[in-house]
């Protein structure tokens, strides 16, 4: 089956900060050789974000790609896994980029629902419009939903978690820094009746020391959640392109 080819709504362009090949460091496919495509622009501004250079027009450099250019890049890469990250990849119509020879992964806050049309203006005035994504296509993706806790200093309506909890093609990844954060995760999980088998907990930080906290991992085990180490931080620190 060929790649799907159809023009997208946002000026028929995808805005990409960088792409690189590395190991998936987190979640349910940790350790997998993957092509990472980091999209530019984000509708959030989490205080601990380690990719602030992707947020806005002035945050850092990025390049415009057409759908054809980006699908060619994906097809010509030897990695069987393709990770869409950001920024916020759900700003873009990702179903347009699918080829059946690849396994796709989307790392998203989950706030922007893919099966609903989008019309949003970011805080720097950048406008994004896209049609709803085709769920028959995106259900083949591995969606990694990263809800933002109060430690992110973001105000989001977490009702969107009801939508994602009904989708069998996603997992949930929370970023914590202490037991208080873990208690907040537990509250969210109980409120939306999310299976703990689908929940992965990562430790906030961009240093190796921040990831080596056995006492906090012990609590994650006690609470019954999966631990998601940040392998890229343990191996390469905060190096870009990894």
Per residue in 135-145, pLDDT (tens digit) is: 999 999 999 99
Percent of the chain with pLDDT over 70: 95
Burial of 14 from C-beta contacts in 10 A (0-12 / 13-18 / 19+): buried
Distance of alpha carbon 80 from the chain centroid: 18
Cα separation, 89 vs 22, whole angstroms: 18
Q: Is the pLDDT of residue 219 over 70?
A: yes
What pLDDT score does 12 carry? 63
Q: Which domains does the chain have, with CATH numbers?
A: 14-236 (3.20.20.70)
pTM: 0.92
User: Is residue 54 a contact partner of residue 40, using CB atoms and an 8 Å limit?
Assistant: yes
- What's the pLDDT tens digit per position in 155-192? 777 889 999 999 999 999 999 999 999 999 999 999 99
- What's the pLDDT tens digit per position in 69-126? 999 999 999 999 999 999 999 999 999 999 889 999 999 999 999 999 999 999 999 9
Given the DSSP bridges, would you call strands 14-23 and 199-203 parallel, antiparallel or unpaired?
unpaired
């Amino acid at each position: 089956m060929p790649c799907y080819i159809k023009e997208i709504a946002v000026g028929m362009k995808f805005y990409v900060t960088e792409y690189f090949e590395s190991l998936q460091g987190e979640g349910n496919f940790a350790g997998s050789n993957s092509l990472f495509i980091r999209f530019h622009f984000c509708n959030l501004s989490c205080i601990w974000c380690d990719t602030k250079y992707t947020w806005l027009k002035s945050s850092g450099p990025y390049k415009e790609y057409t759908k054809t250019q980006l699908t060619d890049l994906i097809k010509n890469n030897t990695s069987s896994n393709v990770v869409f990250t950001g920024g916020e990849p759900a700003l873009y119509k990702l179903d347009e980029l699918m080829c059946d020879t690849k396994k796709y992964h989307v790392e998203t806050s989950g706030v922007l629902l893919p099966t609903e049309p989008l019309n949003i203006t970011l805080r720097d005035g950048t406008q994004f419009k896209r049609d709803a994504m085709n769920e028959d296509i995106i259900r083949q993706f591995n969606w990694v939903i990263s809800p933002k806790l109060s430690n992110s200093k973001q105000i989001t309506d977490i009702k969107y978690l009801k939508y994602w909890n009904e989708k069998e093609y996603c997992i949930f990844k929370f970023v914590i820094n202490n037991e208080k954060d873990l208690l907040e995760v537990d509250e969210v999980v109980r409120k939306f009746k999310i299976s703990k088998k689908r929940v992965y907990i990562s430790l906030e930080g961009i240093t190796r020391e921040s990831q080596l906290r056995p006492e906090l991992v012990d609590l994650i085990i006690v609470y019954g959640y999966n631990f998601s180490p940040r392998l890229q931080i343990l191996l390469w620190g905060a190096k870009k392109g990894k």
